[in-house]
Structure 1
Amino acid sequence: MHSSVRRLRLTVATVTVLAVAGTATACSSGASSTGTKAADSGTYTIWDPYPQFDQSSAWAKLLDACGTKAGVKIKRTAFDTSDLANKALLAAQQDNSADVLIVDNPVVSTLAEAGVLTTTEDNKLDTSKADANLLAAGQSGGKTYGTPIGANTLALYYNKKVLKRAGVDIASVRDWKSLTAALAKVKKAGKKGITFSAIGTEEGSFQFLPWFWGAGAKLTELDSSQAVSGLALWNDWLKNGYAPNSVLNNTQTTSWQEFATGDYAFSENGTWQLANAKKAGFDYGVIPVPAADGGNAAAPTGGEFVTIPVQGKTDRYPTSQKIVTCLTSTDNLLNTDTTLSYVAPTAEVQDKQIAANAELKPWVDAVKAAKGRTSDDLGTKYPKISEQLWKAVQSALSGSKSPKDALSAAQSAVK
């Protein structure tokens, strides 16, 4: 346990990485004093990034129930994702952190490196049931700083009618060669191939990573031959008219809107579009993003970690641990991840999700192959790498540089 608050290690990288979470404005449901200093010994504070859920929601009721089980009252404050990370840093500086902090997974290593979070060794959280690839997003320097509450990732939605008209059997799409062949058939049949987001922001990097990792590339070697092949794939799709030039400015939302017209065969997007897919008015299916030579590519994970921040009063940790254990228990995860539209972080609950909704099977498969953006112990290095990656994608797809030259420039900039 910690006998005192750690000295915060705030660096330019710390501030930069928090921008990965987004740029939305703050949306707090609580008072200005929301940390432990504002709470009495019988009240525990929880900060989460779900302002869409009010106090009457199933999520808020679960928090209250876990508090009751731990013998305390819960004071919950909801923030937009980017604001939550910044508020957590500020609160830690003032020794006024929340007792439990639920934070976007790329930010965990940043807060950990800044000394904001306790380790699972310190706080006795059991993470043994969590899938190792998901847990890795919350690890830094060989230590684990929380447990995943759920995950989402990217896969390929497809329009069954468009593929049928083009004579494409979705079962034949197993690797890049067969996917590109399918796109060629779709174009020949008078329809559009694939849409995705290649915008010059974190969204662009997020969407490119399955193809980058699917080629066997590593984020520490942006100019490898594998990385070049991934970018060349996208570049060739634009050159051949299999993907629209609009991908250069597409967000994941506008990319989805293109797919929703019914003209495209494929769309790279996430679990968060499932509700919209059901409203689209055409039959659709989902397959994991294929790797270059077959199998499922690693796609980046979205989703949050439940963490326990460092406190001046270490006697609060055992109760915080009880609350977190309750929130992430097998009994509660199924309802929690259904509410949050997440795939559960444990195999046991994933099986229950598939039993309840067979349509989740390809998403569970995609999550099992997924990878955290800050995994491989990248931590606060990731934002700089990501920025150069999306710049390289933009340079190549706009025609200003070849894929090889764009990625060589990116690697030089990172160094």
Structure 2
Amino acid sequence: MLSSAALAGCVTPAVAPAQPSQEGAAPQEVTTLELWHFLTGAYSQVLDELSGRWNEKNPNYTLTVRAIPIAEFKREIATALAANTAPDIAGVDNPDHASFSALGAFADVSERFAALPGKEEYLPGPLASTMWEGKHYGIPGDTNTLGLYINVDLASAAGLDVETPPKNWEELTAWAEAMSKPENNVYGIAFSARQSEEGTFQWLPFLWQNGEDIATIDSPKAVEALSLWVDWVNRGLASREVINYTQGDALGQFSASAAAMTINGSWQIPTLRRAENPINWKVVELPYSIQPASAMGGGNWAIFATSSHIDVAWTFLQEFTKPEAVEEIYIPAGRLPPRRDLLRAGEPWKDDEAYQTFFRQLEFARPRGPHPRWPDISAAIQTALQQALTGQATPEEALKRAAETIRPLLG
């Protein structure tokens, strides 16, 4: 992969968008812009439709969109950077944004961002994920966060009232205990602790809620946060299979009434509502110990520093900031916008308590990092979760080992 200095040397001057040709004048050359992303399903289809509309409005430009499987995405980007064949725009997972920015791969758009209408509407967590060393290297594309889904019928059967849901860890554990029915193969709670970014994403809120962060990951309060999960598994309140569950698997256990609660994301609402055999459910904000916190998911948009069309690419990215984006992009894609004004503009969300719950939770959502070595930091956390939940190490031992890996990376 190119060094920061080498990438900076490849930057070519930005060009202003071409104007439509005058009658009788020679037609202007059509310029091609490339956008790469790893998104799938409805969002990928929405991007194809968006590019088509944009091309119609900007006949001197053709924006081509390429979807790359997420497992191959970073490798494809690295190869393109080394060969100086990077696209103009990329959609990246938010925890990866800082590593590319620190490398010099992304264009500094700080001046453009300063002039962006409504820039103050961005939620702090998504915006922070696009920044490195005080500068802007893109804009948030979409966002999501975690909440606590509760099976209303199982709660009622256990004598619990979902209108007064658990507010702290002690109450959450009590609810999981009350709803666990081993004789019926029902666990109190399901979550993802697999050895992937999903496991990190799901555990970090508990670390933050207990007043700690990555730099203090082996502190007594951090150990307490991991011990909570270990206690749930050891007591049979959560399945030992959580070490293998994806977030989709955890939702599957919940939707099959094999788990009474699940820690899961806002993107699962449509899945639950479209279920062939829907359950009666409610989602509430995550219970917390010391302070409210949740992890922030979603992706960002960035322009490569090597693009010859930075101004045009920036113009395209503003499609994600317009009021029309709610109906044209976010709702059909099943994603949440990272701006308060767009959240307010979503008529279908206005009276939807499930979505409103996540909107409130987003105010406390934090990005992972931002840090250029985030993949290595996350891997150490994932290993600690696996070791502690399988009994290979105590929570204290597992987090001490993680800290030994993480601290040198933090610098």
Q: TM-score, normalization: structure 1?
A: 0.83
- In structure 2, distance between residues paired with 1:405 and 1:243: 22
Q: Which residue of 2 aligns with 1:95?
A: 84
**8 Å contact kept, 1:223–1:408:** yes
**8 Å contact kept, 1:290–1:297:** no
Runs of 4+ in 1 over 4 A off after TM superposition: 122-125, 188-191
TM-fit CA distance, 1:42: 2.5
The aligned length equals 373
1:160 to 146, 152, 160: 152
- In structure 1, distance between residues paired with 2:232 and 2:101: 40
Q: Which amino acid aligns with 1:351?
A: R
Q: Decide whether aligned partners of structure 1 residues 162 and 208 sit closer, same or farther in structure 2, where only a CA change above 3 A counts.
A: same
**8 Å contact kept, 1:147–1:306:** yes
Residues 355-366 of structure 1 correspond to what in structure 2 (within 5 A)?
A: 355=350, 357-366=352-361
1:244 to 225, 239, 248: 239
1:259 to 254, 259, 262: 254
TM-fit CA distance, 1:182: 1.3
Q: Which residue of 2 aligns with 1:203?
A: 198
- In structure 2, distance between residues paired with 1:44 and 1:114: 22
Residues 189-338 of structure 1 correspond to what in structure 2 (within 5 A)?
A: 191-278=186-273, 279=275, 280-293=277-290, 296-299=292-295, 301-311=296-306, 313=308, 316-338=309-331
Q: Decide whether aligned partners of structure 1 residues 189 and 115 sit closer, same or farther in structure 2, where only a CA change above 3 A counts.
A: closer
Q: Secondary structure at the match of 2:189?
A: strand
Q: Which amino acid aligns with 1:345?
A: P
TM-fit CA distance, 1:150: 1.0
**8 Å contact kept, 1:123–1:317:** no
Q: Secondary structure at the match of 2:64?
A: strand
- In structure 2, distance between residues paired with 1:220 and 1:68: 49
Per-residue deviation, residues 171-225 of structure 1 (Å, max 9, x unmatched): 1411111111212222379642001111222221111111111111101121012
Q: Decide whether aligned partners of structure 1 residues 311 and 172 sit closer, same or farther in structure 2, where only a CA change above 3 A counts.
A: closer
- In structure 2, distance between residues paired with 1:405 and 1:54: 41
TM-fit CA distance, 1:250: 1.7
Q: TM-score, normalization: structure 2?
A: 0.84
- In structure 1, distance between residues paired with 2:180 and 2:83: 59
- In structure 2, distance between residues paired with 1:403 and 1:318: 50
Q: Which residue of 1 aligns with 2:23?
A: none
TM-fit CA distance, 1:358: 3.9
The answer on 1:351 being equivalent to 2:339 is no
1:119 to 98, 108, 113: 108
The answer on 1:78 being equivalent to 2:70 is no
TM-fit CA distance, 1:143: 1.3
Q: Which amino acid aligns with 2:217?
A: L
TM-fit CA distance, 1:351: 1.8
Q: Which residue of 2 aligns with 1:137?
A: 129
Bigger Rg, structure 1 or 2: 2
TM-fit CA distance, 1:68: 3.7
* Structure 2 unmatched ranges of 5 or more: 9-28
Residues 385-404 of structure 1 correspond to what in structure 2 (within 5 A)?
A: 385-404=377-396
Q: Secondary structure at the match of 2:261?
A: strand
Q: Decide whether aligned partners of structure 1 residues 382 and 212 sit closer, same or farther in structure 2, where only a CA change above 3 A counts.
A: same
**8 Å contact kept, 1:88–1:97:** yes
Q: Percent identity?
A: 25
1:187 to 164, 168, 180: 180
